[in-house]
Amino acid sequence: MRIAIASGKGGTGKTTVVANLAVHLKNSKHSVAVADCDVEEPNLHLFLNPHLDIEKTAVVPIPEVDNELCTGDDCGLCAQLCRFKSLILMAGEVMVFPELCHGCGLCTLACPEKAITEGSRAIGVVRSGKANCIPFTEGEMKIGEAMAPPLIEEVKAASPQCDIELIDCPPGTSCPVIKALDGVDFAVLVTEPTPFGLHDLDLAVLTLRQLRIPFGVVINRDGMGNSCVHDYLNREKITLLGAIPHSLKAAQAYSKGLLHVGNVEGFDDHYAKLWENIQQSIGEARS
Amino acid sequence: MSPSMNTKTIKEIVVISGKGGTGKTSVTAALASLGPQKVLADCDVDAADLHLVLAPKNIRTEDFVAGERAFINTDSCVDCGLCLEHCRYGAVSEDFQIIPENCEGCGVCAFVCPEDAAVMLPRTCGVWHVAETRFGSMVHARLGIAEENSGKLVTTVRKTARELAEAQGASLILTDGPPGIGCPVIASLGGANLAIAVAEPTTSALHDLKRVFGLTKHFDIPLMVIINKSGINEETAKVIRDYCKDNGVEVAGTLPYDKAFTQAQINAMSVVEYDPEGRGKDLAAIWERIQTRLNQQDQ
Ligand code: SF4
Ligand code: SF4
Ligand code: SF4
Ligand code: SF4
């Protein structure tokens, strides 16, 4: 079963929830794996301290033009067809701009002279290993790179099969998130009880409704703001899976990269309750 | 000053954060209430929040059309399966329908389709607005759900903000950047005069700050750091300060962990308006340092 932990914006505590829930599940003898798909800012490792012994370079295809075969100015078809402006014809030769290429393969397919073959270009790395017996996979995108979705796909593919797989999603509602949410059974949205939190939650809710993924909401730092999120959930008839209280102790533990489970009084119960509610919601979504 | 002369003197400051939730938007809103006449640009097009504080009145709204999306005309489709076979993004279903949220708009299906049943159509990815706020004109936008091209939307917002600044003779563009270090952030930084990273003293934020620093260095943009919520962890706050010192990054200021930020947000105010004597003074001092840094660049 794949469960995504997502949020409309960053910094709501999404990663904290993944880390604590994973440890709670492991402590209660579940088979659980985690995958950090927030490849722009992978932070889960800071909380789970995994030992990552496998590292693989993630690549995307990139065209390579054989200038012997290419008829250049007489043709120019590839440059004309490429939707991402990653090929241009200059001084009779085709130039490739690798950062713009989406690796769609159209140029290779279209070239009448078979002058294009596909090589590969590194976009980041996928690392895997274990964090205290929990299988752990993460991706890290190269700085200055813009192609997150293919890397996210590789992270998900590299994550081993377990009864429960927790996916730490990138924030937002655009392409990377959609890729991370692809094929998940349930999503847990993490938010904060503030006007910014509510606004971003609403976007995340729209996204999940559009993707038809069942979901529930966790309010993190409950009590720090006002009741706007609670009111919204009631109005929209969205399941509140849990409310994790605002506490300076919890913020301090977090700042040091410490987990709440096992370190902050009362938080083990919050996560036990959260898991109970998630299971119940998944059950209801299935029936 | 004629608008054309002014072009050169317009400065653009982009507030970024790496990790979300460090208070980037609250800081941007606070800076918006200080300094000279400016144009505001919200480039956090994925989850824009600045409007919640600034209550903009939109005076112009435009669809954001970028790229294409495939469409399959069922009447002429002969179910040959070529599109499905060649689409690399899983955007063609088994029954030859386009799954819009997966479509990259690459045009492969249209190219391979023997019946011209698969066609490419222009794609509306979002909407952008020009608005008035109590702190000046503002350009803001919203990317549609599951849409791409956020980088291009950011570019559109910035371009419009620059045109406005030129027309109004404003000397500053203040941009609320997107979080992360991916394509929208890259689009929001290119050609800016100064990036300000808002960092909180947590292990995660420090990790992200290092990546943000790498990014600004890569694009050769000067960087200043504001340490927010310093009270959470003085030790890590010091580590961040040391990191900045070692890398020649100036710290524009430090803000304590203060309920005033949340309260200001709840009241739809900037923290300078909500708490002028407290946090407002801190931010005024930060603004002074930013201003000094910008002036130094002219010499
Ligand atoms: S399509 Fe092939 S032959 Fe034509 S310009 Fe491109 S590489 Fe050269
Ligand atoms: S693979 Fe696609 S995106 Fe890349 S150069 Fe070829 S046509 Fe353009
Ligand atoms: S345009 Fe490209 S991504 Fe979209 S359906 Fe066609 S082949 Fe697939
Ligand atoms: S390639 Fe064209 S005709 Fe063949 S299945 Fe796709 S849309 Fe239909």
CATH number for the domain including B34?
3.40.50.300
Given this model, what pLDDT does residue A81 score? 97
pLDDT band at B17 (very low <50, low <70, confident <90, very high): confident
Same domain, yes or no: B87 and B50: no
Per-residue pLDDT at B102? 87
Tokens 């970024």 map to which residue?
A: B16
Residue A104 CA: which ligand 3 atom is closest? 2
Note whether A220 and A192 are within 8 A (CB): yes
A97 lines ligand 2 (CB under 6 A): no
The first and second tokens of residue B126, run together, are 């979002």
Mean pLDDT of B70-91: 96
Compute the average pLDDT of residues B27-41.
93
State yes or no: pLDDT of B3 exceeds 50: no
pLDDT tens digits, A237-276:
999 999 998 888 888 887 787 889 888 888 899 999 999 9
Contact (CB<8Å) B262/A224: yes
- Residue A83 alpha carbon to ligand 1 centre in Å: 15
Same domain flag for B273 and B150: yes
Q: Where are the beta strands (DSSP E) in chain B?
A: 11-16, 38-42, 57-72, 118-133, 136-143, 172-176, 194-199, 223-227, 250-254
The separation between the first and the last C-alpha atoms of chain B, rounded to the nearest angstrom, is 21
Q: What is the pLDDT of residues B240-272, one digit of tens each?
A: 999 999 999 999 999 998 889 989 999 999 999
Tell me the pLDDT tens digit for each residue of B186-241: 889 988 999 999 998 888 788 888 888 998 998 899 999 999 988 878 888 899 99
Mean of the pLDDT values across residues A184-190? Answer: 96
B44 and B71 in a common domain:
no
Residue closest via CA to ligand 1's atom 6 equals A78
State whether B202 and B261 are in the same domain.
yes
Mean pLDDT of A179-186: 94
The closest alpha carbon to B253, from B286, B231, B224, belongs to B286
Residue B6 counted as domain residue:
no
How do residues B125-184 score in pLDDT, each as one tens digit?
899 999 999 999 999 998 888 787 788 899 999 999 999 999 999 999 999 998 777 778
Q: Does B281 lie in the same domain as B142? A: yes
Give the residue, out of A64, A80, A81, A87, with the most ligand 2 atoms within 8 A of its beta carbon, to mutate for a pocket test.
Answer: A87
Q: Residue B6: pLDDT above 60?
A: no
**Cβ within 8 Å, pair A194-B214:** no
- Could you tell me how many residues make up chain A? 287
The verdict on ipTM greater than 0.90 is: no
Listed residues B124, B143, B164: the one ending a domain: B124
**What number of helices (H) and strands (E) belong to chain A?**
10, 11
Q: Indicate if B178 and B234 belong to the same structural domain.
A: yes
- As a whole number, the mean pLDDT across chain B is 90
Asked if pLDDT for residue A20 goes beyond 90, the answer is: yes
Structural domain contains residue B2:
no
For residue A106, which ligand has an atom nearest its CA? 2
Q: How confident is the model at residue A25 (pLDDT cuts 50, 70, 90)?
A: very high
Q: What is the pLDDT of residue A266?
A: 87
**Ligand 3 centroid, distance to A81 Cα (angstroms):** 13
pLDDT band at A217 (very low <50, low <70, confident <90, very high): very high
Q: For ligand 2, pick from A60, A84, A116, A117 the residue to mutate: most ligand atoms within 8 Å of CB.
A: A84
Residues B115 and B250 in one domain: no
Ligand 4: residues with CB < 6 A are B 72, 77-83, 96, 112-113, 115, 117-118
When pLDDT is averaged across residues A109-115 and rounded to a whole number, the result is 97
Expressed as residue numbers, the domain containing B51 is: 11-55+134-296
CA of A13: which chain B residue's CA is closest? B21
Please state the length of chain B: 299
Which residue in this structure is represented by tokens 């006449």?
B37
pLDDT tens, A71-90? 999 999 999 999 999 999 99
| B147 φ, ψ (degrees, to nearest 5) | -95, 160
- The total of structural domains in chain B comes to 2
Atom of ligand 3 nearest to the CA of B92: 5
- For residue A104 and ligand 2, the question of a CB distance below 6 A is answered with yes
Residue B8: its pLDDT value, please?
A: 58
Average pLDDT, chain A: 92
Whether the CB of A59 is below 8 Å from some CB of chain B: the reply is no
How many angstroms away from the CA of A9 is the closest CA of chain B? Answer: 6
B279: closest CA of chain A, how far (Å): 18
Question: Domains along chain A?
Answer: 2-58+123-286 (3.40.50.300), 67-114 (3.30.70.20)
Q: Are residues B269 and B193 in the same domain?
A: yes
- B5 part of a folded domain: no
Give residue A277's pLDDT.
Answer: 96
Q: B60's torsion region: left (phi>0), alpha (psi -120 to 50) or beta?
A: beta
CA dihedral in degrees (B28, B30, B31, B33; nearest 10)? 130
